[in-house]
Structure 1
Amino acid sequence: MDRIVLNPAQKALRINLDPNVYGTFAEIGAGQETVRHFFRAGGASGTIAKAMSAYDKDFSDAIYGKEKDNRYVTEVRLRKMLDHEYGLITERLDREKHPDKRFFAFANTVATINFAKTFKGHGWLGLRFQTSPEKEPNEIIIHIRMHENEAKYQQETIGAMGVNLIHGAFHLWDDPRELLHSLYDNISRDAIEVDMINFLGPDFENVDNRLMSLQLIKNGFTDAVIFGPEGNNLLPAEVLYKKNVLALRGSFRPVTKVNIDMIKKGYRMFVKERKVERDKLVVLFEITLNNLLSEGEIDEQDFLDRAEILCSLGQTVLISNYQEYYKLVDYFGRFTPRRSGLIMGIPNLEEIFNEKYYRNLNGGILEAFGKIFSKDIKIYVYPFKPTAKSKLTTSKNLKVHPRFRPIFDYLIYNGRIVDIDDFDESILHIFSREVLRKIRQGEDGWEGALPAYVDNIIKENGLFGFEVQEDVEKGGK
């Protein structure tokens, strides 16, 4: 049965009428936009133990402590707020007097649009809450990017999303996917973007936050998410801010020796660039949503299999909805002006020069190339040789349509497109789709196409449809 969508006033009243939900609100930066819904709904005295806004930095520092970097709209600040406020509830409220209460602490720290409208605003919302009085609390942390052009509208949207978060936590905690959907109840997806979410706590032990990241993109709540080697979701702005970015796009289904050779050799070339600082470099393995949809619907287990291997190899993973490279480059440009690099094989380079991807642009392929190469970007091209008898293809002998040949030659001449020369020719015949076919059909010989230990990971965890082949002894009659 479809879920009935309530408006913020109805959700706030439903929470207020629950005699066992009790907690505090601490909101900084956009006013007490969430708690006012609960005050206006009626019956708030049974729900709200305290509501506050510490706008002055000195007051805020006195309560939550001073930040070393003097930044207040951060996850670190949000967690300090949750720690402090939830700690006060458990310290000041006697459990014997409130045996049935499910405590919570809601907090947000937000910077709305500036007067000149050059900065749209962003913020952190978080909730620490119990699903039953005897349980340890859970946490839901989200990061938002705002897109509305008026502060008052942004404040209203933040308030509604805060209500949705609290209502979802208490009524949909056992269905995180539906809880995620409910965040946008009565809110336009064009108004606000959720680009990071993490579920933590005893009731979310079986929740894979990488899957929650995938849901953000699948549902159109954001266009790109990043998760780290530990499998935790990361804030893109924190990962990419003023960094040199080196990205490799692929299916990684599974990761092969070719993928590793591409990233190693591309990395060696990239760090030699004068404008690249090794200590400010982030390497990303990127998978597009289009790639995940290659066989129709998204196969979540297939996605997790890829993620499991990449994380096991210590890699940071970007999942994006940017099929076209110019959108990916533009995305990096939001966060960093520093030099970035893209590592790609010959087939992907050929795709860049395919006009069909730019029909939605008034300037077509020329506009797309302007978007890519107006940024400080270099493309590192890995050669292509599918069979032993095939001719090795590099950027030097790649066939490009005559109309685009002058552009291609210009980019080669200016060093914006460069070949990876130090490659391992003995592995060029390896293709992940062939490896995947052998794994699924139980054929031998696929292990040698993979980096060390990856075959063990696949076998031990039964990834990509691998099944342990058991010997069957045939006895006589």
Structure 2
Amino acid sequence: MNLVILYANNNENMSNFFAEDLSLPGDRIIDQKQAISDKTLKINLNKNIYGSFAEIGAGQETARHFFRAGAASRTVAKAMSAYDKQFSDAIYTVEQDGRYVTESRLHKMLDHEVKLLEERLDQNEHPDRIYFSYANTVATIDFAKKFKGHGWVGIRFQNEAQGEFNEIILHIQFKENDVLLQQRTLGTLGVNLIYGAFYQYHDPKKLIHHLYDHLDKDQLEIDTINFSGPAFKSVDNRLMSLFLVKNGMADAVMFAPNGKNILPANTLFRKNVLLLRGSFRPVTIVNINMYQKSLHQFLTKNNLSEQKTAVIFEITLNNLLALGEVNEQDFLDRAELLCALGHTVMISNFKEYFKAVDYIWNYSQEKIALTIGLPSLIEIFDAKHYTNLPGGLFEGLGRLFKHGLEIYVYPFLNENDEIITSKNIVLHDESLKPVYNYFVGEEQIIDIKNFEPQNLKIFPHKVLQKIWNNDESWQNDVPEKVAKLLKANNLFRKKDSL
């Protein structure tokens, strides 16, 4: 049976219906793509939703949808754009770095606009109103079409009358090559975000999914999103990062040791980068030894400053899917340990190393290095991993090493207890040895020195097996801090749940 509901702009009864709909539990929200005009009209007809719009850089594209839908006076307290830099600075103050498309700028916009709502609107006159402020600060594609543009978008809102404010902040990268298309995309995204804040906040994953209503992933990428406030007190933003990558909304996301999602561009911009890829299930003393030794060699060899060097621990989606479906608790266990050790974590869908290097190069043209185990180096020179490239293995190697990449290699202990390094390595195809030797000679493949031979038999999967078997010797294979966390939080204990 199909149900069709017709409504008019000034129907007070329909407005009351939507007000009641606001309180529906998350699992009763209709999981269906609604027309943008339907979303804006539904909000406009809800007499209790009221707020302001502040949009800088791409026109008042979001507010325009609400004005076109009709009954906008019920929703829009103010809509503005401060395009002139002096006007913008006078309203929102000056940024220390002089930039305008920043997260800091967006927060200042939301702070200012919410303050005005509270100062200028009489809550006693409308005790049932819930207020919001939507803002964006955006740079669209430049005239030369060299930089496609990006922006910060956010909403601060109440989900109950006179309640505390909640916040959703996201960063987007435009992919379209036309400024008008980017403006329309931004407007659609803005409507989806505002609608989601009021009608889908019970289920943040559903909210994120519906941000792409009437949009395609080829139009924009969401590479950072953070939820905060009482409505999202149970939300782990690291899981929201994972959701973005898992659903193809972002190629890679990052989160800081405090668990907050951070913008990859800000983390990598003009930094030397050391990237460590692994399962980290769990982090072992070998992982830490690889990190410490390779970082020291990388800095010393290139005369680099540690303060200007970003160390990134990368977990690929392919690694997380090795168990079948992505297990969120397993992911959080890994993330918990890395964050506790003070590391920045990147989740990516880069199966091939050259894609990770290309991604980093987009944000930093400084020195880039990889730290890997010797078995991974053997796989890099295996042609089967490059069948999807027209130039095969040679194209893959060219893309990997073209930016002067350095690979720091941790040795491997084979079944004969022989230590294998880059010097005595055996490739799958030994005819590639001259190519391999070229990169060794150019010092782009470098052995990690001063490693600890007694630890070469430590592997994460063996440590995990010890934990499952209640073999307490696993504590000798991980850093002391990791051992304490593993025991205190009972991490990786349930084999059947993984």
TM-score with structure 2 setting the length: 0.92
Give the equivalent residue in structure 1 for 2:166.
138
Matched residues, number: 466
Is residue 316 of structure 2 the alignment partner of residue 282 of structure 1? no
Indicate if the aligned counterparts of 2:172 and 2:222 stay in contact, CA closer than 8 A.
Answer: yes
- 2:425: which partner in 1? 398
Pair 1:302 & 2:315 matched: no
Corresponding residue to 1:13 among 30, 41, 49: 41
Matches within 5 A, 1:21-420: 21-274=49-302, 276-386=304-414, 389-400=416-427, 401-420=429-448
Shifted more, 269-278 versus 181-190: the winner is 269-278
1:474 aligned residue? none
Task: Indicate if the aligned counterparts of 2:414 and 2:420 stay in contact, CA closer than 8 A.
Answer: no
Q: Deviations over 1:203-236 (max 9, x none)?
A: 1111000000000000100110010100000000
**SS of aligned partner of 1:408:** helix
Tell me the secondary structure at the aligned position of residue 239 of structure 1: helix
Aligned with 2:100: secondary structure?
Answer: coil
Structure 1 contact 386–428 (Cα < 8 Å) conserved: no
Deviation at 1:128, TM superposition (A): 0.1
Deviating 4+ runs (over 6 angstroms) = none
SS in 1 for 2:480: coil
Q: Deviations over 1:17-64 (max 9, x none)?
A: 111000000000000000000000001000000000000000000100
8 Å contact kept, 1:6–1:185: yes
Shift of 1:275: 5.4
Residue 435 of structure 1 pairs with residue 472 of structure 2: no
- Separation in structure 2 between the aligned mates of residue 273 and residue 226 of structure 1, nearest angstrom: 27
- Counterpart residue identity of residue 80, structure 2: M
Q: TM-score, normalised by structure 1?
A: 0.96
**Mapped contact 2:237–2:260 kept (Cα < 8 A):** yes
For the aligned residue pairs, the C-alpha RMSD in angstroms reads 1.2
SS in 2 for 1:273: helix
Instruction: State percent identity of aligned pairs.
Output: 53
Read off the aligned partner of 1:391 and give its amino acid letter.
E
Name the amino acid aligned to 2:41.
L
Q: Which amino acid aligns with 1:203?
A: A
**Deviation at residue 462 of structure 1 after TM alignment:** 1.2
Q: CA deviation at 1:136?
A: 0.5
Q: Structure 2 counterpart of 1:398, which letter?
A: I
1:56-113 deviations in whole A, cap 9, x for unaligned? 0000001000112110000000000000001100111111112101000000000000
Aligned to 1:473: none
> Structure 1 counterpart of 2:232, which letter?
F
How far apart, CA to CA, are the structure 2 residues paired with 1:134 and 1:425?
Answer: 63
**Secondary structure, in 3 states, of the residue corresponding to 1:301?**
helix
- Residue 167 of structure 1 aligns to a residue in which SS? helix
Partner Cα distance (2:493, 2:77) in 1:
52
CA shift, 1:386, in A, is 5.0
Structure 2 spans left out of the alignment, 5+ residues = 1-27
Structure 1: distance between partners of 2:75 and 2:62 = 13
Alignment deviations for residues 136-186 of structure 1 (CA, whole Å, 9 cap, x no partner): 100000000000010000000000000000000100001001001010011
Tell me, what secondary structure is at the counterpart of 2:301?
Answer: coil
Render the CA deviation track for 1:387-418: whole Å, top value 9, x for unaligned: 6x421000000012233211110000110001
Q: 1:98-137 CA deviation, whole Å, 9 max, x = no partner?
A: 2101000000000000111001000000000000013210
Residues of 1 paired with 2:191 and 2:304: CA distance? 44
User: 1: distance between equivalents of 2:355 and 2:169?
Assistant: 27
Deviations 1:337-396 (A, max 9, x none): 100110000111011011111111101111111111111210000000156x42100000
Q: In the alignment, which residue of structure 2 is the partner of 1:451? A: 479
| Structure 2 residue matching 1:142: 3-state secondary structure | strand
Match of 1:271, SS state, is helix
- Distance in 1 of aligned mates of 2:469 and 2:167: 42
**1:338/1:376 contact within 8 Å kept:** no
Is contact 1:38–1:44 with CA below 8 Å preserved after alignment? yes
8 Å CA contact 1:112–1:151 kept in 2: the answer is yes
CA contact (8 A) 1:386 1:429 kept: no
Q: Give 1:276 shift.
A: 2.5
Q: Report the residue type matching 1:392 in the other structure.
A: I
What are structure 1's unaligned runs of at least 5 residues? 468-477
Aligned counterparts of 1:280 and 1:176: Cα–Cα separation in 2 = 35
Q: State the shift of 1:453 in Å.
A: 2.0
Structure 1 residue 444 displacement after superposition:
2.6
Match of 1:460 in 2: 488
More helix by share: 2
The answer to whether the 8 Å contact 2:282/2:463 transfers is yes
CA apart distance, 1:277: 2.6
Cα distance in 1 between the residues matched to 2:66 and 2:414: 64
Letter in 2 for 1:434: K
Instruction: Choose 400-409 or 175-184, whichever is displaced more.
Output: 400-409
Amino acid in the other structure paired with 1:343:
T
For 2:315, give the aligned amino acid. I
- Report the alpha carbon displacement of residue 283 of structure 1 after superposing the two structures with TM: 0.4
Deviations 1:269-315 (A, max 9, x none): 01113353322101011100000001110000000000001111111
CA distance in 2, matches of 1:30, 1:335: 23
State the 1:441 CA deviation: 3.0
